[in-house]
Amino acid sequence: MSTVFPSKPGIERQWHVIDANDVVLGKLASHAARLLMGKHKASWTPFLDTGDHVIVINASKVKLTGKKDAQKVYRHFTGYPGGLVETGAAKVRLTRPQRMVEEAISGMLPKTKLGKQMYRKLKVYAGDKHPHVAQKPVDLVIERKAS
């Protein structure tokens, strides 16, 4: 008996919707990264992209624990001398709230071509609406922290 090996045309991909309203950012990111990599499937293979598509809505309402809203800093480099730009989490939440979720999830994916391919299956929206209704996404509920 031979082992069944997943091939590109044989990989079944589902669409999942995660509501980020009052969900801790790290918990949300780890669930989404797991779905994007396909580790929840029996056909998971480390060197193949067997993961599903993930839609995250309400990214502006994601929860940060502790004093991270005031102390966490997002950095990027423009490429010019002295071009390090630092922005606080509170300001990022106001201007580009989807960036917080995207960076958290991409940090949990592999840093290879395969990881970039997995990242392309992630869609993040600041509000509660998304244009992917035709794909018939399945709602995924993540436990919210009791406070």
Convert the pLDDT of each residue in 63-80 to its tens digit: 999 999 999 999 999 999
**Residues 65, 71, 74: CA angle, nearest 5 degrees:** 100
Instruction: Look at residue 19 in the predicted model and tell me its pLDDT.
Output: 96
pTM above 0.85, yes or no: yes
The number of angstroms, rounded, from the C-alpha of 55 to the middle of its chain's C-alpha atoms is 8
The domain of 128 spans 14-64+97-140
Mean pLDDT in residue range 30-43: 95
Q: Is the pLDDT of residue 132 over 70?
A: yes
Determine, yes or no, domain membership for 70. no
Determine, yes or no, domain membership for 146. no
Tell me the C-alpha to C-alpha distance, in Å, between residue 16 and each of 77, 90, 130. 33, 28, 12
Q: Is the pLDDT of residue 146 over 90?
A: no
Q: How many helices (H) and strands (E) does the chain have?
A: 5, 6
Instruction: Look at residue 145 in the predicted model and tell me its pLDDT.
Output: 61
The number of angstroms, rounded, from the C-alpha of 122 to the middle of its chain's C-alpha atoms is 6
Determine, yes or no, domain membership for 23. yes
CATH code for the domain in which residue 35 is found: 3.90.1180.10
Number of domains within the chain: 1
Determine, yes or no, domain membership for 80. no
